[in-house]
Amino acid sequence: MTAEKFDLQQLQIASPCYERWENMTGDERVRHCASCKLNVYNVRELNKAEVEELVTRASGRVCMRLYRRWDGTVLTKDCPVGVSRARVRLASALLTAAAFVGVLLLPLLRLGSRGSSEPPPTFQERFDQVKEEAYEWPVFGTILEEISPRPRAIMGAMIRLPSGGSGHP
């Protein structure tokens, strides 16, 4: 395998092991299998050079834990596609969180439309105003209504309860 250029895609599992990785002792890179008395190397936590060195210096059987993508590519710690995808996922998560926080906080930071002679609204007043507006937002309003229903106005003829009443007629 190493006479020419090392190719990760040539790695194959000859006889699969059915022991659970979680039951083996060790860390995320290498664990010891009590059944076969061998170390099992997690290729996903090794870079390509470490895998190549492991394969070339192995005398006899080497146990590995391989991850293959749908296209058959073996995943390693320094896999450029995996690293790129992880960066994209992280950036997407950060942008989504920032947008969510911005949508919620930007109205709070906005100055009120009151005249210059009146003091600016307090944070609580502004928060209550934004919360009231948020009930009208398409998805967020539905969720907010479930979590914290807004007060409902009740109209009708009023009766006076006898003093000491329970609140029900």
The 10s digit of each residue's pLDDT in 6-24 is 677 777 777 788 888 888 8
- At a CB cut-off of 8 Å and minimum separation 6, what does 111 contact? 120
Q: 13 near 21, Cβ under 8 Å?
A: no
Question: Token match 């006899």: residue?
Answer: 60
What tens digit of pLDDT does each residue of 117-169 get?
777 778 778 777 777 787 787 777 788 777 777 666 665 555 566 666 555 55
**In Å, what is the CA distance from 97 to each residue of 31, 85, 92?**
37, 18, 9
Task: Give the amino acid at 20.
Answer: R
pTM (2 decimals)? 0.45
Q: Quick check: 62 and 54 in contact, CB under 8 A?
A: yes
Sheet with 38-42, edge to edge strand ranges: 25-26, 30-33, 38-42, 63-65
With 60 as the cut, is the pLDDT of residue 70 above it?
yes
Structure tokens at 39: 């170390």
* CA dihedral of residues 13, 17, 18, 19 (deg, nearest 10): -130
